[in-house]
Structures are given as C-alpha cells and as structure tokens.
Amino acid sequence: MKVKTQSKKVNKAWLNQHVNDPWVKLAQKEGYRARAAYKLKEIDETFRLLRPGQCVVDLGCAPGAWSQYVRRRLAPQGAPAGSLEGLIVGLDLLPMEPIEGVRYIQGDFREEVVLAQLEEALRLPDGRSRPVDVVVSDMAPNLSGVESVDAARIEHLVELAVAFARQHLKPEGALVAKVFHGGAYDGLVRLFRDTFRAVKPCKPKASRDKSAETFLVGIGLK
C-alpha cells in the first residue's frame, strides 16, 4: 500500500507540472500534439534546417508533434493544412493519428522489413531513391533503469539513425538525433564527428531541466 500511495503522489505531481507547463499550454494553443514541437522549432531556428521543397524523414514520430512542425515549415505559408511543398515520411513503433501531407509507416526501425518500407516510400518513379534533406530522430528506447543496458539501447538507436543518414542524406543534409547524457554520450558524439563535417549539441529550452536528454545536430556528410 505504501508503494501505491507514493506512486499516486508522483503521478499527481507529474500531472500538475504537466498541466501548468507553459510549453504544454502553448502547444494546445497552437495546435501541436505535444510540447516536443518546440524542441525541434528551436533547433530549426538555430541551425536553419527546414524549408519548403525538402524531403524530410521523422524517426520516432508519434504522437506527431515533430511531423506537424515539419509540415508547417514545408508549407508555403506555414499552414497546418493545405498546400505542401516537399515530402515528409514519419515512422514509429506506436500508432499515430494521420497528419495531412505526412506519409506514416508503423513499425520497428530496427527491423529490415520496416526499413524496406521506408526506402520504398522514398523511391522515385524511375526507381532511384529520393535523396533526403533532413532526418530528425526523437527515438528513445524503453528505459530499464540499468545504466549499461539503457546506454546500449540508446546507442543502438542512434547508430541506426546515423547509418540511415549516411545512406540517404544529400551531401549537405542534416541529422537531428535525441541522445542522453550518460554512458553512451561520448561515443555518440565521436560517431557524429566521424560522420558529419559540423556537429553541434543542443539543449532546447522546451526540454525539461531535469531531463538528461539533449540533441546532436550533424550537418554535411564527410
């Protein structure tokens, strides 16, 4: 009973913090599904990554806030619906409500059959693969609480995102990936530096202070 009571207190505290979060309120006001949209917004405004006409892949896209932001950036007038210039493909293990103009694939990014679906979505009429301008990855594993295990899971997902970027990005393209400070962080920074000409860490204001998450931005393939 004691554990259950503590759990209720923690859940109530989290819910209270969430409801009163200014980023959550702003997301509701502006029609985003999650506060995470403002993390990508700050990264985009800092590095000027997104613009109409691009091909963008959103890995770990559910519930869809990043895809919503990308969709607005690729629209001529920044609209959440209507005209769209470019291609957006989202992928996630979890289901996602449709977003106008976003092609969604549900599946596990670690599985070859799912990667094949993603590659098919990028295929041009002549059979060639459409080069990607930007890959954004908000993927995160279910954390076990065992640091070595979690570090390996995080590292694996980011390594997959980097491998996908190496294969599909334009030479001047960019990858944005969520990482966590901890056992895998230094190795992932080295991986980015081995892959991209410019590498910058970014901790957006919309990312909670207590969170160990940060984002690595790699621009221009080596």
Angle, in degrees to the nearest 10, between helices 22-30 and 37-47: 90
Q: Please give the Cα distance from 95 to 181 (Å, whole number).
A: 28
How many CB atoms lie under 10 A from the CB of residue 120? Answer: 11
Catalytic annotation on 178?
yes
How many CB atoms lie under 10 A from the CB of residue 216? Answer: 24
Residues in Cβ contact with 82 at an 8 Å cutoff, skipping those fewer than 6 apart: 75, 100
* 92 labeled binding residue: yes
Write the burial class of residue 177 (CB in 10 Å: 0-12 exposed, 13-18 middle, 19+ buried).
buried
Residues in Cβ contact with 63 at an 8 Å cutoff, skipping those fewer than 6 apart: 33, 34, 94, 96, 97
* 127 labeled binding residue: no
- Which one is catalytic: 170, 178, 200, 203? 178
* 66 labeled binding residue: yes
SS3 content of the chain, % helix, strand, coil (to 5): 40, 25, 35
Q: Please give the Cα distance from 20 to 24 (Å, whole number).
A: 8
* 108 labeled binding residue: yes
* 64 labeled binding residue: yes
Q: Which residues carry a binding-site annotation for S-adenosyl-L-methionine? A: 64, 66, 92, 108, 138
Positions annotated as catalytic residues are 178
Specify binding-site residues.
Answer: 64, 66, 92, 108, 138
